[in-house]
Structure 1
């Protein structure tokens, strides 16, 4: 009986796992992806198809991000449970053996103790106290085993749903590409002089020089009264879902420090306007690749560089959340595919974000909110 008591004390000293449902996030993400799938079906008949498809792509990106996080948490929880059970194989075997002794034989002598009636009474009292605790421990082990099986099934279902979501978000991106190509309802504030633009691109050796010469490529500016943005500074949404890879002034691997921030995104991430603005320039520039420069108010420029696909034309006026383009990293085909994004590439694309006030670089983190999940 002393051996049984010692074993019980050892078991009670072991910590129990928290009862948090590690699969809750994956289940919630699954509901998000299902809702996004419904949005995709409804977007085909929406009056404002661009807006509907933009919301659909954002919904898919949020759902896919949550699903990845849920799968990670479920896998970690399953690994913890399996490691716990494997590490306690001997303990579990001993617990099973002890529990089996708690069911006496039918013979009356099974209730007798070598020390006589007093020993039998003490043993009975100890068993009466230990049995509920041992049964509770056995119930916890059964629950852990059940949780392992449930998490394994959840991961299989979530992985299949993730793959479907990756395919459908590609379909939504392709539809958005087509809708943006067909869009003709954006107001035009001014037209771009292609000759002056070419001269400016050829002569400008820095982004600073290019920005200072933007006024020279404008023809027929009809003017525009932008909305007040002073109260929104510091709360602008990030143009794309991602994580900050490099802050303003931090040198890159080549030792080059830029005044903007670098946002790491997943392949194909949608880039949207953080506020209403004029498209001051859309096109290739220096070593930045494709660049989109927004002017939310006179004297303020937001530079976005690194997109593989750009929407809009120089001189157009756009509303907040208007799609500006897509990040690269996806297959060249416009057909639905999970390559790139679903192939373990993670956040392989980078979006450069710079803010200039009267052509003086500002810290973008003082303008944009960083609370969004990537």
Structure 2
């Protein structure tokens, strides 16, 4: 006899398993605060830490014998409290209208077959696939991945990025004027494609000038669209570096295995993206170039912007762009309430003929450090 209570526990655990196709959260390493007592409508506190600011000179820090250094001049840690309101989110989405709630339905006959597979083989992957639950799990992962992307994109609201603040960056360091007909213009001889030797160096320089910290490995990170990757790989220097991770990493103790290195390091052919080891998915490692660790994602939104590109005979035309999101650590925070993501069953089972289920999450997101983020775009033409 099928025990309904066991099903959401077994399947719900899969919600937390990282997937190589949805890497934004992994690359971001967000600040996570989990408060089990909080419910939708209540808040969770995230902290945004800031630097002290101007370090001053040697003379400015010199003290005299009669100066007071005690509690009257004490300073607290410079941080802001960021309150995120928890909301309830569910899935899967309706196929025709993603704003409408929907459910996932499995017949009892299918479930009984799945149960036998689970008992016979003990293979949870076979069990999940036999009931079609990969659809439900993929919906949650793809949605959550896009949510983190949306938080990073909020940095564009600060305006043009510079040595002082985060924001947007367009090839040639152009300023965008929304509704300017066109928003951006490129004269004859100017390229509207992101250039490795000028644009990339400018973005990395600006991140460093505004004291954006690096991740623990000493590098910034970039998540970019495959079209942006294609354009960057047209540069010979970038291509030369990007091609090596796909060959795997040579074990110095076993150099004779170099031709098959990718099979034991987990690197795949797509520029350091996911590979497989012993049949299990491996999360992307990215590759390094000019102080940035690069990750490619196929789950980024696409936007068209009115632009004039004289060299390409484009005049005030909505032209597609491809995203490149550069960032440092602690850029985004997430507050989680209740039991975190879980699979829930509907009690209306039509006399145990089927079950209806959803995934549910109580959470709130917020960009914490917009100055640690540069949203770059390259035009596709």
- If the length of structure 2 is used for normalisation, what is the TM-score? 0.18
Higher share in strand: 2
Higher share in helix: 1
Q: Give the greater-gyration-radius structure (CA).
A: 1
Q: Which has the higher contact order (CA 8 A, sep 6+)?
A: 2
